[in-house]
Structure 1
Amino acid sequence: MTRWWISALQLAELFVSSMVHLLYGFYIFSTAVAGDLLQALSDLIFKPNLSNTGLKEEDSKKTTSVDDLPPIVLVHGIFGFGKGRLGGLSYFAGAEKKDDRVLVPDLGSLTSIYDRARELFYYLKGGQVDYGEEHSKTYGHSQFGRVYEKGHYPEWDEDHPIHFVGHSAGGQVVRVLQQMLADKAFAGYENTSPNWVLSITSLSGAFNGTTRTYIDGMQPEDGKSLKPICLLQYCRIGVILYDWFDIPFLKDYYNFGFDHFNMSRKEIGIWGLVNCLMGKSGPFTTGDWILPDLTLQGSIRLNSHIQTFPDTYYFSYATKRTRQVMGVTIPSGLLGIHPLLFIRVLQMSQWRHPSDVTPPYKGYRDEDWWDNDGALNTISMTHPRLPIEHPSRLVVNDSDCQPLEPGIWYYKIVEGDHILFIINRERAGVQFDLIYDNIFERCRKHAFRKNPTLPNQVHQ
């Protein structure tokens, strides 16, 4: 009986991993990260005695002992997952083991930047996720979502701020959350401020959108709707079916995050499924999902309401896997690019905005967007640029930004593809440890607003 149950569980895990493989293949990580993901999942399922973090035993030792310092929160990107999903696989390839106080929240993997920012707040403070009455009515989903009986950092406030590290769309999620804190956008929390965020570090951050969205099916005319036949249409259908079948243990294993849209067969029945597939209801119809936020137009809409705050430290790593040869942008060789991501780098390096469509902003030039990492354009990852450029400073050596000044986006160009920082540490090699060690050291030694009030201290 026990053997039968284990076999069934392994079969279910392989089914979900195959589903994720398929959907990953349709967008940002392409089949490249899917291959890394399946390899890691196979190790998890069939080699249970091996570490699933990708870190060697000596690497897993804590570099610091900082239980009394602000937590570092790692925020995943599109199609990502937090702690506890996919059988315990680490999205950040075990980087969270480098420090004693790291949190890895599980947010919606395909939900909008707005919805994910709301989820992140309640994950930390605790309580039931409140997406806001007006927003929920506008986009046709429930106002309330998951309940966190106890927040993962309930003492979070201006005296107990947090360091955030976001990969891909995760970087933009943290920026939106910080603006919400500044706007006091959470009911019942009138004392929030942008100073609740001590630092933001972005890994291949999606600050200004990506031309990849248009290649995969978003309409360049509006940056909101999908082309009738495209890769993203297959992704849309797969996600709707996955949520409609609503198999509990599969949803626990991996969840796209659309529970608040109530697309389960138990809620909407067969005709509700038909309506979702026909584009009459659901997140893909109202536009409350991640892809519209990742178009150039969507990023401009978001950025027009987001500030860079004077008391927060900002740092970004922008990845690039292209080079110039006789004025032509091409992939920077076969080595260093995941074989299955190579075609994406090539496609983006040749992107041309349709001549009969109005450019997304004044001064747009195709050539500015040709350098890329297979998922995002390098120009998009350095710092917020659209619709206005935020203060920034290029960093060649890490010592160039010491002492670190708040209110400035320090950015560094890194030779790597979009999945350099995640899933498969072995492929990234020494560079993985160097980058994450620098991030954690910067958070612990250089990004202080003042002598911090320790979480276990009582105000006098």
Structure 2
Amino acid sequence: MKNQLLTMVKIKLTLLTFCLCFGSLQSVNVNAKDIQGPPDPIGPRQNHSPIILLHGFTGWGRDEALDFNYWGGIVDVQEHLKEHNFQVFTTASGPISSSWDRACEIYAQIKGGTVDYGKAHSENHGHDRFGKTFAGYYPEWGELDRESKTIKKVHLIAHSQGGLDSRIMIQLLNKGHLAEQKSLAMNKDDLSPLFRGNNDWVHSVTTLSTPHDGTTLASSVFRILPNHQEVLTYLSSTWSAFGLPAYDWKLSQWGLERGEEEEYDDFTQRVQNSHFWRATRDNAGWYLSPEGARETNEWVKAQPNVYYFSYGSQQTSEAWFSDDHEPDIGMFAIFRPFAKWMGEYTQDSPNRVIIDKAWFANDGIVNTISMDGPKNNSTDQIVAYGGEPMLGVWNDMGVMQGWDHFDYLGQFNSDYGDPRPFFDKLAHFVGALPE
């Protein structure tokens, strides 16, 4: 089974590479059928908080992948929104890193400064405390606006794992972290503002296909974590063979950064021997698993002054003669074997999250039941959106039926055409939220 799963991941990565190489040959389906999207704004624009776009697992930045955009594919969602008078920035965090590490990186990219993963956290997991230094997309974040007399905040729009990163960053900003505070009790000036608390700096967060309760796909794919070195080397070699710009794994905190004169074989050997692969709870695999999500949900809570919105996706249907789910015809080919496996997977092992038929519906990567907000081991409230946004609870915006995990982004085989109208409506919707 492990070899089969490793083969599936290799196939997925190969097809992903193909799409990135030849995605520009595809055309945007401008005649796509009308779809349900974000609701109309609740009124005129009331705030000018910048919009921050956060990618999901294995995502990439704007200077990678031959300018094939994570947000839009061959079109550019960020620049489109900027042309419509929205201030927008796109973050680029570690594609396979833990959501804790990614939250720390996102904070530094927005505010500016050196990434601080936390003294207690870094010592516990065996990697460097500090990472790269950034100028900051929005250095005035958290400062007082002299005209409005309000704190300068941001809107977060996050796909997949990016939603977990958002929740953790908001929790740390608002409540701080006791272990980090205790680790620097004798030197409080050295504590990152991210861990101090009382920083109500986020206006809203919108999650798209986020596994708030984890995904059962992680229950299989990430059991091959000890062999993930092989996958990493395989993908890097494939990209190198195509002459593509380096896919930045952003793992410098683990010492996994290729030196300017370092031979590629030497670098990959260091990658394969890294402690990262044995850090089974400080990587994306743990955070995306149902058990990892259960652990996160215990301490990460919805904050009372933040608007939370969740959008789901589903592109499977119940089989004719069983409760199993089968992938719909329009699903991206890469996702079909994953969707079929998720559509029939159950487990009831002790000390693990019980998985039953309620988890069968999925979008090829994430179980639909997991997308509306955190439920397992969580006290967060989830309410169906009724036309009036509510603070401090999850406003469930519904499920986009017939959408796979990439359809929100407009990548590859976008079943629903140009993604820009969706994000137009979403930007205007969050822009109409009260200050």
Alignment-derived partner of residue 95 in structure 1: 77
The counterpart of 2:275, out of the listed 268, 282, 297, is 282
Alignment-derived partner of residue 129 in structure 2: 143
How much does 1:301 deviate? 1.3
Unaligned runs of 5+ in 1: 1-22, 44-51, 57-63, 219-225, 451-460
- Tell me if 1:207 matches 2:200: no
Alignment-derived partner of residue 408 in structure 1: 393
Unaligned runs of 5+ in 2: 1-5, 31-40, 143-149, 178-189
The counterpart of 1:321, out of the listed 306, 315, 319, is 315
AA in 1 matched with 2:118: G
Closer, same or farther in 2 for the Cα pair 1:234/1:260, shift >3 Å?
same
CA distance in 2, matches of 1:352, 1:83: 38
- Tell me if 1:40 matches 2:27: no
How much does 1:277 deviate? 3.1
Alignment-derived partner of residue 231 in structure 2: 235
- Tell me if 1:75 matches 2:58: no
Alignment-derived partner of residue 9 in structure 2: 26
Alignment-derived partner of residue 140 in structure 2: 155
Q: CA RMSD in A?
A: 3.6
CA displacement, residues 226-255 of structure 1 (integer Å, 9 cap, x when unaligned)? 4767xx463255479899x9xxx97x7420
The counterpart of 1:293, out of the listed 287, 294, 304, is 287
CA distance in 1, matches of 2:233, 2:322: 40
How much does 1:383 deviate? 0.6
AA in 1 matched with 2:400: V
Closer, same or farther in 2 for the Cα pair 1:373/1:430, shift >3 Å?
same
Query: Does the aligned pair in 2 maintain the 1:208–1:384 contact within 8 Å?
Result: yes
Alignment-derived partner of residue 162 in structure 2: 170
Alignment-derived partner of residue 411 in structure 2: 424
Aligned to 1:319, the other structure's residue is in SS state strand
- Tell me if 1:337 matches 2:323: no
AA in 2 matched with 1:428: D
Higher relative contact order (CA 8 A, sep 6+): 2
The counterpart of 2:369, out of the listed 372, 375, 379, is 379
TM-score by length of structure 2 reads 0.77
- Tell me if 1:109 matches 2:95: yes
How much does 1:428 deviate? 3.3
With 184-193 and 378-387 compared, the bigger mean Cα shift is at 184-193
How much does 1:38 deviate? 2.9
How much does 1:130 deviate? 1.2
Closer, same or farther in 2 for the Cα pair 1:425/1:375, shift >3 Å?
closer
Q: What percent of counterpart residues are identical? A: 23
CA displacement, residues 154-175 of structure 1 (integer Å, 9 cap, x when unaligned)? 1111711100000000011000
Query: Does the aligned pair in 1 maintain the 2:23–2:412 contact within 8 Å?
Result: no
TM-score by length of structure 1 reads 0.73
With 422-431 and 233-242 compared, the bigger mean Cα shift is at 233-242
Aligned to 1:164, the other structure's residue is in SS state strand
CA distance in 2, matches of 1:239, 1:282: 20
With 136-145 and 307-316 compared, the bigger mean Cα shift is at 136-145
Query: Does the aligned pair in 1 maintain the 2:382–2:394 contact within 8 Å?
Result: yes
